[in-house]
Amino acid sequence: MADYQIRHLYRESANFFQGRPLPLRPIQRGQQAHAASRRWQHPLCITNGLFPTVEDQEQVSRFWRAEDGTSEFPLFFRRHSQLVSQTMAPAEPHLLRSRIKALQGFILVLSLAFLSPASASVTDRMAVDSSNSATGPMRVFAIGNPILDLVAEVPSSFLDEFFLKRGDATLATPEQMRIYSTLDQFNPTSLPGGSALNSVRVVQKLLRKPGSAGYMGAIGDDPRGQVLKELCDKEGLATRFMVAPGQSTGVCAVLINEKERTLCTHLGACGSFRLPEDWTTFASGALIFYATSYTLTATPKNALEVAGYAHGIPNAIFTLNLSAPFCVELYKDAMQSLLLHTNILFGNEEEFAHLAKVHNLVAAEKTALSTANKEHAVEVCTGALRLLTAGQNTGATKLVVMTRGHNPVIAAEQTADGTVVVHEVGVPVVAAEKIVDTNGAGDAFVGGFLYALSQGKTVKQCIMCGNACAQDVIQHVGFSLSFTSLPC
């Protein structure tokens, strides 16, 4: 279940910025944590040039040197590899100090601008379920809104009883809350849901080894939370759920009637999630970090902290999903700050159109994207790329990926020398009679892309893998995968 229905839930929330200030995490901490995890060495060649000491530079240099002394860089963004040796060269002390101070000042501004301290954070009042630890090594780490999907075929009278219109996707009203217990009479199938959780489930299935993908979110202290956790455990996913006392686990009734799907969602504990102090220990070893913009509705702190942490780790990559037009509109300032630390940005053409409109990236007439107008799509992608680069070339990977339904995927990439390269990858056709449920296609695409990314594939190969996973998911009711062999 893609949790895009939270459009109205937080519109009138005046305190979503509450919580503790964004902590300043020393860069050495990330280097040490990842240097100790040599079992998986992914070289995306993303460099930030922020190594406080020569010793730290040498430590990173040793980490990226194979046992036989050869390079371990794979194909993905291979042209960036020369930046590693450049960055590891001792920097001028005064320049290095100024860059570190500038970074700290920037983080402090973020803290003051977006994050007002509260007397007691939600994290301090939440229990931690850490019984499932990664057997790893973890390659991909994500945060999101965990939802338990309850999928069942129901008669029209059931929809009428709860004032639901066939095909709609809504948030449950107080009067509709009993729908979840009433649904038991139809023996619903329980599936893990939520946009980010769906994506990392794909990554985990493709990587196969238990604990290869990790996830954090908030659930309630109730049976549904336990079911959700057990389902994730069964798939080999490493999870660490924050348990919110007195709140229920997010749940979605996925009602199938006459081959149409109606969704009724209660977000429950999702909005209570705050990253625990030791979350980096759980995510240790991961070099790909992922967040959806839905997480901004709980607090922008979570995504900002993950992005800031990834930014301080050599060769780590932070990826973000625009998620929904309302996220782009309601959280303009927080997202703009987040995009500066984003390496790869995902979204569909509607979401990117809103991004272009809100940030005045292109002429107004070009934000009304036509799927047949590739030129407009390309211009919007290159405009969005400027939000990631701020007009500068740091040598870090910067990539914007726009999905366009059955039309070719458009991606804009800034290369190591600052050149912008546009990729266009076609989407294989799926017969109309085989398409059962398009919900979650975008989540599956991201999952396939991140998996290929972890394997060092090229941009086009990553997109092709995303397409393959999306094609598989849309041929089933609910978010589930049927392939038994690697599709990419």
The residues annotated with a catalytic role in the active site are 443
Instruction: Give the CA distances from residue 185 to residues 46, 155, 176, 179, in Å, rounded to whole numbers and listed in that order.
Output: 52, 12, 16, 11
B/e letters for 315-341, b = 16+ CB within 10 Å, e = fewer, are: bbbbbbbbbbbbbbebbeebbebbbeb
Nearest in space to 374 (alpha carbons), one of 410, 420, 411, 348: 410
